[in-house]
Amino acid sequence: MSLNTFGHLFRVTTWGESHGPALGATVDGCPPGVEIGAAALQHWLDRRKPGQNKFTTQRQEADAVKILSGVFEGRSTGTPIQLMIENTDQRSKDYGDIARAFRPGHADLAYHLKYGLRDYRGGGRSSARETAARVAAGGVARAALAALVPGLTITGYMVQVGPHGIDRSRFDATEIERNPFWCPDAVAAEGWAGYLDDLRLNHNSVGAVIEVVASGVPAGLGAPLYGKLDSDLAAAMMSINAVKAVEIGEGMAAAALTGVENADEMRMGPNGPEFLSNHAGGILGGISTGQDVVVRFAVKPTSSILTPRKTVNQAGEEIELITKGRHDPCVGIRAVPVGEAMMACVLLDHLLLDRGQTGGVRGTVG
Amino acid sequence: MSLNTFGHLFRVTTWGESHGPALGATVDGCPPGVEIGAAALQHWLDRRKPGQNKFTTQRQEADAVKILSGVFEGRSTGTPIQLMIENTDQRSKDYGDIARAFRPGHADLAYHLKYGLRDYRGGGRSSARETAARVAAGGVARAALAALVPGLTITGYMVQVGPHGIDRSRFDATEIERNPFWCPDAVAAEGWAGYLDDLRLNHNSVGAVIEVVASGVPAGLGAPLYGKLDSDLAAAMMSINAVKAVEIGEGMAAAALTGVENADEMRMGPNGPEFLSNHAGGILGGISTGQDVVVRFAVKPTSSILTPRKTVNQAGEEIELITKGRHDPCVGIRAVPVGEAMMACVLLDHLLLDRGQTGGVRGTVG
Amino acid sequence: MSLNTFGHLFRVTTWGESHGPALGATVDGCPPGVEIGAAALQHWLDRRKPGQNKFTTQRQEADAVKILSGVFEGRSTGTPIQLMIENTDQRSKDYGDIARAFRPGHADLAYHLKYGLRDYRGGGRSSARETAARVAAGGVARAALAALVPGLTITGYMVQVGPHGIDRSRFDATEIERNPFWCPDAVAAEGWAGYLDDLRLNHNSVGAVIEVVASGVPAGLGAPLYGKLDSDLAAAMMSINAVKAVEIGEGMAAAALTGVENADEMRMGPNGPEFLSNHAGGILGGISTGQDVVVRFAVKPTSSILTPRKTVNQAGEEIELITKGRHDPCVGIRAVPVGEAMMACVLLDHLLLDRGQTGGVRGTVG
Amino acid sequence: MSLNTFGHLFRVTTWGESHGPALGATVDGCPPGVEIGAAALQHWLDRRKPGQNKFTTQRQEADAVKILSGVFEGRSTGTPIQLMIENTDQRSKDYGDIARAFRPGHADLAYHLKYGLRDYRGGGRSSARETAARVAAGGVARAALAALVPGLTITGYMVQVGPHGIDRSRFDATEIERNPFWCPDAVAAEGWAGYLDDLRLNHNSVGAVIEVVASGVPAGLGAPLYGKLDSDLAAAMMSINAVKAVEIGEGMAAAALTGVENADEMRMGPNGPEFLSNHAGGILGGISTGQDVVVRFAVKPTSSILTPRKTVNQAGEEIELITKGRHDPCVGIRAVPVGEAMMACVLLDHLLLDRGQTGGVRGTVG
């Protein structure tokens, strides 16, 4: 992975700024013959789209994706697929007053120091708006996965908002699409709604934890040692705006477990070895085992808040800054489809890598 | 990052198995003119070396590193540096009985499925022994960093063993080298000693959390969007054996914070903007800010334990397995120098990348 | 270099098909602060543009380039620069009759076998139309080179059309822009005009040799051993449509020279070592020496001709095929600006690489 | 391809200097399960070994290759294969007198300028001795190709020494191994022997042209646009020491052909489309067509000659230099096995890439 490209064989390069004419993804390495249509990609973009409820930014963007290349008569040709999303609701004036100030928690200062100049409009390249391009690319990855691995599913959902986690005993996958938080626990979702309303009224924001689970992942994906499946997933999730931590399986909690507790014991099932638990999150030695691949990541609170914070500006003056605009009180909500997209891209990439390197060799058991 | 190589410009390829004749690292991209000697590299390897106290594996390895290329008259020439460590204490017989069994929590099954065959001796390529090569490569990175960024320091230590964390109010950096746990809290270290003794007597093991801090890191390192400094650190740490989670700054705890709490406010100091806190862990928008870069990672408990666990073997038989041998009760201990090495490699890599891409441009403030 | 991307740090990914809605280049790694405008890029595109005289295809394309990202207030920001060129004169019907036939000398059969399907319209991805994207990206590279290495020039010209080479004793650089062949020998250019007229009347085409020279290239560019400057130039030029050979300096002729003849002797000049000849083409050991970098490449005759040729179609029928359409009698003519663009991209890439890896270290002489 | 590594999925990193303790190749990405033994690799190294006849350097090197990792019980495991060749006949004293002089035609000055220091012993990293590591890696590639593509053969031979080319009408493949020049024309070989004897007596050297042909290459290899098979072959061959030009198929001669002449017409054969000629050298649009892949490259005359040449030294003094030592009068001879090795590496790499990206999809004809 390097710079604005991620992936080894399924390579996605995103481009574009928050307030430029367009943004998009150059997708190289999609296998040929995959059915891909703008409508199918749009389905995923619509899930991420802002302005759909009061808990996400009120910026209005059609987020309409155009396929400029690489698809012919509805199928991928094996050549680069260019996905473009034009920016329509840019409202540059909203951001004019902070053109020369460094917002706390934002990349403003870091970009200024590194590059000597920056596109300050809406955060420029560092805006979460870039994640629309990821979701579009993830749609391509999903289409290819659907063709190559029938039955593979990827599901993301929120498991924590601020200090309030879900109750796993109430986990109901059918709830996920029923509330604005992609929450599998209907009771928790209700609590979050009130909690976020209060935060917004208080000009505040909060962090969240998202979990993404892939089921039906074939065993054998992952390229040890430095292209391990978990290593690439960690890089992919950590690259999402505002993410501060990534966990696989037990994650940080693994530190507190003993070896006896943490062992995922095995037995023989009808189709080969079966695990009795999944502390590992479906990955051992960097390679998928066939169990569910389980990734979690923490998103920090939205940095753009209406509460004044101390900072400095380019002139070196100390100021107090309120970040006006149309911001998500919990940016984690819109990170759910993004996490799913990254999972799809990484899995497809490793599927292609594995068939390249091993030809899909699989050792037998029994 | 791909396969057995990591890094963009400072590229490290490790090679070798636990019980082969040797292992090592092919280090490509070290800047020319850096003073590098085997003795200096050995210093770092000795810190990781097994068998130094009762809390780490009793395998005896000299871990003597030889420099086979890339260094001339004590200085790097800009050509690949080959670092070789010969295996001396291999004791293959210890492992013979598990040649065809899949140890729970190990990569045995995953490697078997992916490759159809595997070097079962001591875990082969998936053995933590590979991390010796990382530490050697990290020594090269440290030497280059010392030449390029005087004052930069990298310090790793354990902050949690099993459920027992350190008390941050007792943090004393001078303690780190005084106990076998690289623990900055002398009181906690004492508790851990007793706790680990008990675990070992009970044929058990436990996980840990390691923190690595880099101070004196210049602002501007990190290549957004998919070569972000935090993204590369996440990949690097997650690639270490047994690691299940990576945190930057607040990490998972960021989810529970509000935007008001999490904002790292700024003021002007004598040398430019200063932060009043470091929730971000020194990285914003994937770029270093000049603050301490703070990374934590969780290591799962050693999977090799003397308590019998249910599993299957290659013949498809269900068995109970005890993993004999000379194993660490807490593999996290020896992960401390490895985490430091990965930090050194990633920082040097981004230093070279940054001067390549920006020429070291730095925006001014004030 | 891999797939649809070339370059190490200055990375160009081209995308798009001959008859799709658009094509372009995603340019990642342009240093920040470089002045870049659509007008300046257009200058280079206009040189390559078809339909400008009777010796190139009569397809009419505005080849108007749009900058969609990465440039703010006229300067590069260090983020990806998306360059889009919309296709306007597609005339799909011209190509309909060969949708299922494999044109001799074209990539039709190869793409069909590899991918199982292909965008047959105008050659799809394998069309020379793709080179417009290269020229646009080359314009970005030229702008960055102009900022970083004042005085560096890149000049391409034709030195042979069919069997007719230029007379080096008549070489006059000012002639290059005065004839439709980028020919530095006015007499030869006149001869070529008549020769090509005859060929076209006879429904035939012919090959050519292009030479590209870069002057003012700093010593020290090139990353041995597998990113040698000549190795990367060879890959870059060979990637251009219809190119069948690449030469550096003496090229193939070096085989016939003796060591005494081929030695580029040196003396001391006012600014350091000077060479008395340039058989090496400015590159020794894969590294630039400060002399002119001299590359030549041979372009095969245009495969699309009005003379019937035997071939087969997808149904497996043997047919005779005439490739109608608006084709260049000598596709080498339009390859001149493309070769210049590739030279610019490779030089900038190695300039960035070198400052990344060596920091611009230069050994002293005297 | 970048720096000291080449290949996309089959990645070879060579390391080591002419007069260091050892040199070798780190081979990453060999598919698992391939039979690999040191003896088989040695077979290829012995072909390249110096000192075998009076036409190559009299340096005596056993060139014994050791496999340090990645092979278990005689088969590749899918992990990195470390190949080490210890240097035994280093005779550093031979080179001491030119430690601070820049030999014409050598990389001395270029390395000095780029890196500020260099390992001057025997040319250090820029010595043709490095090609031993390529040949060892090529042996691994050949073993994998033999397992994956039965019937594929790779044959290299010399077609020109100085101005003296072979007579293609006398081409006899069985002659290639019968003379010290890998020459398929027995009459030409005899002439070359006398010619080279004379050159050596006159303290001179000469260039050569090598041709490498791969037969039985499956259609569909090559990853357009910037990982084209011909583009990667050009890079690979140009990376060999002293190579100044690379040709595919007709090569430079294609410039003089007309479209009617150059067209490789097709007919239907029993197994699909067949070509009536092979001007293309087996590659169209960067993708193999199933015909013989034909590559030629020109090697310049050995730069180290006993005839004095004008040059400068590090102190800036103008001197006359004789390069003593044990040099090949025609370094092209030993380049034959190296060219074969590079062909093997590139073909295997593209075989793995193709099955990764397309899964081996092949369009049908008829």
When CB atoms are compared, the residue of D32, D224, D355 closest to A356 is: D355
Q: Tell me, what's the pLDDT at A1? A: 44
By CA distance, what is D318's nearest residue in C?
C267
Encode chain B in three state secondary structure. Answer: CECCEECCCCEEEEEECCCCCEEEEEEECCCCCCECCHHHHHHHHHHHCCCCCCCCCCCCCCCCEEECCCEECCEECCCCEEEEEECCCCCHHHHHHHCCECCCCCCHHHHHHHHCCCCCHHHHHHCHHHHHHHHHHHHHHHHHHHHHCCCCEEEEEEEEECCEECCHHHCCHHHHHHCCCCCCCHHHHHHHHHHHHHHHHCCCCECEEEEEEEECCCCCCCECCCECHHHHHHHHHHCCCCEEEEEECCHHHHHHCEHHHHCCCEEEECCEEEECCCCCCCEECCEECCCCEEEEEEECCCCCCCCCEEEEECCCCEEEECCCCCCCCCCHHHHHHHHHHHHHHHHHHHHHHHHHHCCCCCCCCC
CB of A236 within 8 A of CB of A342?
A: yes
A232 Cβ under 8 Å from any chain C Cβ:
no
| Residue the block writes with tokens 């029993």 | D270
C138 Cβ under 8 Å from any chain D Cβ:
no
Beta pairing class for B293-299 and B208-215 = antiparallel
Q: Is residue B363 part of a domain?
A: no
Q: Tell me, what's the pLDDT at D57? A: 67
The reply to whether D300 sits in an annotated binding site is yes
For residues A110 and A354, give the distance between their C-alpha atoms in angstroms, rounded to a whole number.
Answer: 37
Lowest-pLDDT range of A156-165, B90-99, C273-282, D334-343: B90-99
pLDDT at C244 over 50: yes
Q: Tell me, what's the pLDDT at B1? A: 43
Taking contacts as CB-CB distances below 8 angstroms, the residues of chain D near A33 are 361
pLDDT band for position C263 (50/70/90)? Answer: very high
**Does ipTM top 0.90?**
yes
Closest by Cα among D298, A121, A25, A273 to B313: A273
Q: Tell me, what's the pLDDT at C267? A: 97
How close is the nearest chain A Cα to the Cα of C20, in Å? 6
Q: Is residue A365 part of a domain?
A: no
pLDDT band for position B53 (50/70/90)? Answer: confident
Contact between C79 and B358 using a beta-carbon 8 Å cutoff = no
Contact between A361 and D224 using a beta-carbon 8 Å cutoff = no
Q: Is residue A164 part of a domain?
A: yes
For residues D140 and A78, give the distance between their C-alpha atoms in angstroms, rounded to a whole number.
Answer: 29
Contact between C32 and A77 using a beta-carbon 8 Å cutoff = no
For residues D117 and D111, give the distance between their C-alpha atoms in angstroms, rounded to a whole number.
Answer: 7
Q: Tell me, what's the pLDDT at B124? A: 93
Our count of domains for chain B comes to 1
Q: Is residue D364 part of a domain?
A: no
User: What ranges make up the beta strands (E) of chain C?
Assistant: 5-6, 11-16, 22-28, 65-67, 71-72, 75-76, 81-86, 153-161, 164-165, 208-215, 243-248, 266-269, 272-275, 283-284, 287-288, 293-299, 309-312, 318-321
Which chains, if any, share at least 3 CB pairs under 8 A with chain D? Answer: A, B, C
Residue A45's Cβ-side half-sphere holds a number of Cα atoms within 13 Å equal to 26
Residues spanned by the domain of D169:
5-358
Neighbours of C364 (CB within 10 A): 10
For residues B32 and D113, give the distance between their C-alpha atoms in angstroms, rounded to a whole number.
Answer: 11
Instruction: Return phi, psi of residue D79, to 5°.
Output: -105, 170
How close is the nearest chain C Cα to the Cα of B356, in Å? 4
Which tens digit of pLDDT belongs to each residue from C119-128? Answer: 999 889 999 9
Contact between C276 and D163 using a beta-carbon 8 Å cutoff = no
Which chains, if any, share at least 3 CB pairs under 8 A with chain A? Answer: B, C, D
Contact between B31 and C359 using a beta-carbon 8 Å cutoff = yes
What's the Cα-to-Cα distance from D216 to each of D220, D267, D306, rounded to whole Å? 12, 19, 44
Residue C341 host element (H or E) = helix C332-357
Instruction: Return phi, psi of residue D22, to 5°.
Output: -165, 165
What's the Cα-to-Cα distance from A299 to each of A332, B293, C161, D285, rounded to whole Å? 6, 18, 62, 46
For residues B303 and B301, give the distance between their C-alpha atoms in angstroms, rounded to a whole number.
Answer: 6
Q: Is residue D270 part of a domain?
A: yes
For residues A18 and A122, give the distance between their C-alpha atoms in angstroms, rounded to a whole number.
Answer: 6
How close is the nearest chain B Cα to the Cα of A52, in Å? 22
For residues B154 and B99, give the distance between their C-alpha atoms in angstroms, rounded to a whole number.
Answer: 39
Residue C79 belongs to a domain with what CATH number?
Answer: 3.60.150.10
Q: Is residue D115 part of a domain?
A: yes
Mean pLDDT for chain B overall: 93
Contact between C78 and B357 using a beta-carbon 8 Å cutoff = yes
Q: Tell me, what's the pLDDT at D218? A: 97
How close is the nearest chain A Cα to the Cα of B193, in Å? 15
D357 Cβ under 8 Å from any chain A Cβ:
yes
Q: Tell me, what's the pLDDT at A48? A: 78
Closest by Cα among A348, A319, A239, A276 to A4: A239
What's the Cα-to-Cα distance from B356 to each of B260, C154, C349, C359, rounded to whole Å? 37, 22, 9, 8
Taking contacts as CB-CB distances below 8 angstroms, the residues of chain A near C20 are 68-69
Q: Is residue A77 part of a domain?
A: yes
By CA distance, what is B313's nearest residue in A?
A365
For residues C50 and C60, give the distance between their C-alpha atoms in angstroms, rounded to a whole number.
Answer: 7
Which tens digit of pLDDT belongs to each residue from C189-242? Answer: 999 999 999 999 999 999 999 999 999 999 999 999 999 999 999 999 999 999
pTM for the model stands at: 0.97
Mean pLDDT for chain C overall: 93
How close is the nearest chain A Cα to the Cα of C78, in Å? 7
When CB atoms are compared, the residue of A256, A279, A302 closest to B163 is: A256
Q: Is residue A98 part of a domain?
A: yes
Our separate counts of H helices and E strands in chain D read 7, 18
Taking contacts as CB-CB distances below 8 angstroms, the residues of chain A near C140 are none
Contact between B31 and C79 using a beta-carbon 8 Å cutoff = no
The reply to whether A126 sits in an annotated binding site is yes
Count interface pairs B-D at CB distance under 8 A. Answer: 140
Q: Tell me, what's the pLDDT at D34? A: 98
Task: Say if residue A73 is exposed, middle or buried (CB neighbours under 10 Å; 0-12, 13-18, 19+).
Answer: exposed
Q: What is the pLDDT along chain A (366 residues), one digit of tens a residue?
A: 469 999 999 999 999 999 999 999 999 999 999 999 999 999 999 987 766 777 776 667 788 999 999 999 999 999 999 999 999 876 555 566 678 999 999 999 999 999 999 999 988 999 999 999 999 999 999 999 999 999 999 999 999 999 999 999 999 999 999 999 999 999 999 999 999 999 999 999 999 999 999 999 999 999 999 999 999 999 999 999 999 999 999 999 999 999 999 999 999 999 899 999 999 999 999 999 999 999 999 999 999 899 999 999 999 999 999 887 667 789 899 999 999 999 999 999 999 999 999 998 899 998
